[in-house]
Structure 1
Amino acid sequence: MTETVKIKSPIDGSIYAERPLATDQQVNAAVERARAAQVAWAQTPIAERCRYALAFLDALVAMNDEIVVELAWQMGRPVRYGGEKGGVIERTRYMIDIAEKALVPVIASDPKPGFRRYVKREPLGVVMVIAPWNYPYLTAVNTIVPALIAGSAVILKHAAQTLLVGERFAKAFDQAGLPKGLFQNIVMNHAQTEKLLGSGRIDHVNFTGSVAGGRAIERAAAGTFMTLGLELGGKDPAYVLPDVKMDHAVANLVDGAFYNSGQCCCGIERIYVHEKVYDEFVDGFISLTKDYVVGSPLDQATTMGPMAQARFADLIREQKAEALRKGATAHIDMKVEGDKEGSPYLAPEVLTNVDHQMSVMREESFGPIVGIMKVRNDEEAIALMNDSPYGLTASIWTRDTDHAAAIGDRVETGTVFMNRCDYLDPALVWTGVKDTGKGAALSAIGYENLTRPKSYHLREAI
């Protein structure tokens, strides 16, 4: 009997879709097709590769009305938000626009008569993308498009919760006319994935997921010398200073904490507020949070859908209960139908009187809960922001750009925001420190991580 993967919808617990696992023979054949197709692709001009990428983007965007509903059924995001089209367009177009310049050979800066010396960016070969469910299009496109433009072939293994996303990518590339074998979507389990990574036939893997998952990827790849891109956990902080523009900070931080039911890689999970504006900020934050409407993501009135799985919601319930036992105060008394242990439906929560002895302030939540702490000064805020095993983004809320930059210099993070959060600028590299992982995506640096340097030292005949 063929083993299958089932998508259990968080909307009502029904099986939304079911797909068979690829056999080992099918996985092997896919790798062979990718390897064969990549040889000719590497010789294809960059401009032509970019034309395929634009055609893919047009095809994918044309499916968006169907995609939005599929996302609601697969992982619970409300249809009112329109899916991930805007970010996919922005990132894809940017990486296309900079491709020629980012991949141009680097000429040695000190010319020597009789020599030609330069460094080319060579494609890695076969790139594997292991994508998560929380932003299933955005996280995947970060690597898929630039890897193809750089001259590699791509194999996608998408999260079981969002299997249909991989099929949408495959359909869009087919409609774009991309040569066969260059992009393949494969349904695999963990054991098959680890076996493939350990085979030495994959040249680079990009994984977005948990810290435990990242360690499993490293173990599977050990000894193969493949390159790795790992975007793992996060516990992103915000620091609100006395000179903040209050209404702007409250609105953006509430959205940064609770958009997508808090299931954002760079979502705000802890907030430190200067004592001079603490009460005003907390009052505004609580008031705005109470405006959320939790319910079916298929309803246009819903602003917060269920979490992707009940076990994720139960973790939030556990963190809240522990914090309350240790003296925290909960502020959102929202009645949500079905909000009980074992259900993915969960009201947003704001906690005060929190400290770093509580898991909600140090361990990843990845859900609609946030703790707010009062601080006396920058020194205390910086120490608390750095008191975490993670480091993806940190946001600073002030009117003083120089001050924000100076604080940012001392925060252990991959990105420093000022007066915004929860956003990826494709012109800037997306990276992290500590347990958040390694590697880099987007920007010209993203192309460097998806290619290898090859030096040419050519001496004229004497």
Structure 2
Amino acid sequence: MSESLMHRDEFYIGGTWAKPAGPGVLEVVSPSSEEVVGRVPLAVDGDIDHAVAAARTAFDDGPWPRMSPRERADVLDGAARRLKARTSDIVRVLVDEMGVASGQAPLQVGTVAMVFEYYAELARTFAFDRVVRQGDRVGLVASDPVGVVGAIVPWNAPVTLAAWKVAPALAAGCTVVLKPPPESPLSPYVLAEALHEARLPAGVFNLVPGDREVGEHLVTHPGVDKIAFTGSTAAGKRIMSLCGDSIKRVSLELGGKSAALVLDDADVETVTANLVGGSMHNSGQVCAAITRILVPRSAYARALEAAADKARGIPVGDPHDPGTVVGPLVAERQRARVEGYIGLAAEEGFRVVAGGGRPAHLPKGWYVEPTVLGDVDNSMRVAQEEIFGPVVSLIPHDGDDDAVRIANDSRYGLSGSVWSGDDERGLAVARRLRTGGTMVNGGTPPMPLTPFGGFKESGLGRELGVEGLHQYLEPHTIGIPAALAPQGDAS
């Protein structure tokens, strides 16, 4: 792989490649080989100050917020073209830095350019101004950009989740400081290069990798108007608390413990096996992954056998191998976390019916076998807490009402699905779930046109769709003389 993709010595600040203020270096360790494969500079508070100052100047004095939405859209389209051309580069970096299977990485990366294209088109058609009349009184409701955005993304999909924040923020006219995660900081550099080549004005986008401490400095920085964060619920609570001190705008996409409700008229064994396969994407390191499979009690034994058979047949191995489905977990600490939950079997009373160990043929790398847990009660920790690994729990239910009760008995509410032989019945059950997104019989909403986000402790606000643009806008009501109002405009 190109040395320039894996070894970076500078940040992207103020439209140029900037030397770090401190001597620190983040070494990027491959989850499959356990060897150092890259490096980036480690930001200190001074680097955050530099980036925020650049973004502040670009917002307060630069052209970007004052350009027409169509002009901004042209830049976003230019970035999308360049991101498409760099898809293979992003994929190669992701496989090395976070261990996503090479056969799955293109699916993750393929949506990045699409998100930029979507928000470019939305910028051209969205009503940033609307006129409201009542008798001889006229109001102009302007949708103004919120200002400087601090965007913080996690290690499991750093470029994709950065695009979900950066594209709508730029379409709205905001400026951005992006802090990638220390585990996978390299791939977002390709995003910075694409925006630079698309001639984004200086300071509108800034890239500063760092650890949790500089992330907190970004969150509390007085020059930042809004924080957009994806990550754990615990970190989200901390960020929300810090933002509350200054009433700073905040949007949070957090954890999940999503349930699939398999009803008694579904093909229980086939559906269960398919759900187990789908839950292993990115080695189970997906916030919206289905990790609780709720099946009719009468079919529980058959469903458990189908789930176990499926899990045992999933290829685990080197993420560079195109035949691999489940690669390593991102870090040794993450493997220890997952193994800790599996180790609760004796204490909580569930059974490990498939997997649960480390693959014998992989002496190196932070691997855990695809794992199915049986005899799980929804009150157990493995059913209530986010494990973030290749682990699913099967839970019996006694009919639709009981399945809905179990699914909603969670502090999370991010995603879910319902499976039934009757589409109408499935939809009726789906409407009862307290979750941000639900699929009925595999129906997939069109992304990025529809919003993504969660109820309860799964987050605050939404990403994607027109709702994602609203997160970066402030309504500004201006009373105007009637003579200034275009004829025919009304709300």
TM range (shorter): over 0.9
Match of 2:16 in 1: none
Kindly indicate whether residue 112 of structure 2 is the aligned counterpart of residue 91 of structure 1.
no
Amino acid at match of 1:10: P
Amino acid at match of 1:13: E
Any residues of structure 2 matched to 1:358-369 within 5 Å, and which?
Answer: 358-369=380-391
Give the alignment partner of residue 104 of structure 1, picking from 105, 110, 128.
128
Amino acid at match of 1:444: V
Q: Distance in 1 between matches of 2:382 and 2:395?
A: 12
Kindly indicate whether residue 409 of structure 2 is the aligned counterpart of residue 384 of structure 1.
no
Match of 2:18 in 1: none
Match of 1:330 in 2: 352
SS in 1 for 2:305: helix
Q: Distance in 2 between matches of 1:208 and 1:36?
A: 26
Q: Distance in 2 between matches of 1:446 and 1:12?
A: 38
CA distance 1:255–1:433, shift in 2 (3 Å): same
Amino acid at match of 1:88: V
Q: How far 1:21 sits from its partner (Å)?
A: 2.3
Amino acid at match of 1:129: A
Match of 1:70 in 2: 93
SS in 1 for 2:186: helix
1:102-121 per-residue CA deviation (whole Å, 9 max, x = no partner) reads 3432332x5534x4323111
Match of 2:227 in 1: 205
Amino acid at match of 1:212: A
Match of 2:5 in 1: none
Kindly indicate whether residue 149 of structure 2 is the aligned counterpart of residue 147 of structure 1.
no
| Mean Cα deviation higher: 144-153 or 301-310 | 301-310
Q: Distance in 1 between matches of 2:182 and 2:367?
A: 20
Match of 1:41 in 2: 64
Aligned-residue identity in percent: 30
Any residues of structure 2 matched to 1:182-331 within 5 Å, and which?
Answer: 182-246=204-268, 249-250=271-272, 252-331=274-353
CA distance 1:136–1:192, shift in 2 (3 Å): closer
Ranges in structure 2 where 5+ consecutive residues have no aligned partner? 1-21, 484-491
1:322-359 per-residue CA deviation (whole Å, 9 max, x = no partner) reads 1244332222258713678x961110011111113421
Residue 335 of structure 2 contacts residue 366 of structure 2 at CA under 8 Å; is this kept in 1? Answer: yes
Residue 57 of structure 1 contacts residue 89 of structure 1 at CA under 8 Å; is this kept in 2? Answer: yes
Residue 268 of structure 1 contacts residue 422 of structure 1 at CA under 8 Å; is this kept in 2? Answer: no
Residue 22 of structure 1 contacts residue 187 of structure 1 at CA under 8 Å; is this kept in 2? Answer: yes
Any residues of structure 2 matched to 1:114-129 within 5 Å, and which?
Answer: 115-129=137-151
Residue 73 of structure 2 contacts residue 119 of structure 2 at CA under 8 Å; is this kept in 1? Answer: no
Amino acid at match of 1:158: P
Normalising to structure 1: TM-score of the pair?
A: 0.93
CA distance 1:245–1:120, shift in 2 (3 Å): farther
1:243-270 per-residue CA deviation (whole Å, 9 max, x = no partner) reads 2255763454123311110001100111
CA distance 1:89–1:2, shift in 2 (3 Å): closer
Q: How far 1:46 sits from its partner (Å)?
A: 0.9
SS in 1 for 2:31: coil
Q: Distance in 2 between matches of 1:373 and 1:339?
A: 31
Instruction: Give the root-mean-square deviation of aligned CA atoms.
Output: 2.4
Give the alignment partner of residue 29 of structure 2, picking from 8, 13, 28.
8
SS in 2 for 1:331: strand
| Mean Cα deviation higher: 275-284 or 166-175 | 275-284
Residue 34 of structure 2 contacts residue 365 of structure 2 at CA under 8 Å; is this kept in 1? Answer: no
1:117-162 per-residue CA deviation (whole Å, 9 max, x = no partner) reads 2311100111111001111122111110010011001110001111
SS in 1 for 2:480: strand
Q: Distance in 1 between matches of 2:294 and 2:48?
A: 48
Count of aligned residue pairs for this structure pair? 459
Residue 61 of structure 1 contacts residue 85 of structure 1 at CA under 8 Å; is this kept in 2? Answer: no
| Mean Cα deviation higher: 19-28 or 150-159 | 19-28
Amino acid at match of 1:35: R
Q: Distance in 1 between matches of 2:312 and 2:123?
A: 45
Residue 53 of structure 2 contacts residue 223 of structure 2 at CA under 8 Å; is this kept in 1? Answer: no
Q: Distance in 1 between matches of 2:307 and 2:382?
A: 18
Q: Distance in 2 between matches of 1:7 and 1:183?
A: 23
Q: Distance in 1 between matches of 2:44 and 2:394?
A: 49
CA distance 1:216–1:442, shift in 2 (3 Å): same
Q: Distance in 2 between matches of 1:397 and 1:65?
A: 36
CA distance 1:154–1:297, shift in 2 (3 Å): same
Give the alignment partner of residue 49 of structure 2, picking from 28, 53, 73.
28
Q: How far 1:241 sits from its partner (Å)?
A: 0.8
Residue 275 of structure 1 contacts residue 375 of structure 1 at CA under 8 Å; is this kept in 2? Answer: yes
SS in 2 for 1:270: strand
Residue 411 of structure 2 contacts residue 457 of structure 2 at CA under 8 Å; is this kept in 1? Answer: yes
Ranges in structure 1 where 5+ consecutive residues have no aligned partner? none
Give the alignment partner of residue 203 of structure 2, picking from 173, 178, 181.
181
SS in 2 for 1:137: helix
Q: How far 1:417 sits from its partner (Å)?
A: 1.6
Give the alignment partner of residue 419 of structure 2, picking from 397, 420, 433.
397
Amino acid at match of 1:167: Y
Amino acid at match of 1:218: M
Q: Distance in 1 between matches of 2:322 and 2:216?
A: 41
1:202-234 per-residue CA deviation (whole Å, 9 max, x = no partner) reads 111111111221122123323222110111111
Amino acid at match of 1:368: P
1:348-375 per-residue CA deviation (whole Å, 9 max, x = no partner) reads 0111111134211111011001111121
Residue 251 of structure 2 contacts residue 460 of structure 2 at CA under 8 Å; is this kept in 1? Answer: yes
Residue 165 of structure 2 contacts residue 463 of structure 2 at CA under 8 Å; is this kept in 1? Answer: yes
SS in 2 for 1:367: coil
Q: Distance in 2 between matches of 1:35 and 1:338?
A: 52
Q: How far 1:169 sits from its partner (Å)?
A: 1.1
Match of 2:154 in 1: 132
Amino acid at match of 2:85: A
SS in 2 for 1:25: helix
Residue 231 of structure 1 contacts residue 438 of structure 1 at CA under 8 Å; is this kept in 2? Answer: yes
Residue 261 of structure 1 contacts residue 368 of structure 1 at CA under 8 Å; is this kept in 2? Answer: yes
Q: How far 1:423 sits from its partner (Å)?
A: 7.6
Match of 2:431 in 1: 409
Give the alignment partner of residue 104 of structure 2, picking from 76, 81, 84.
81
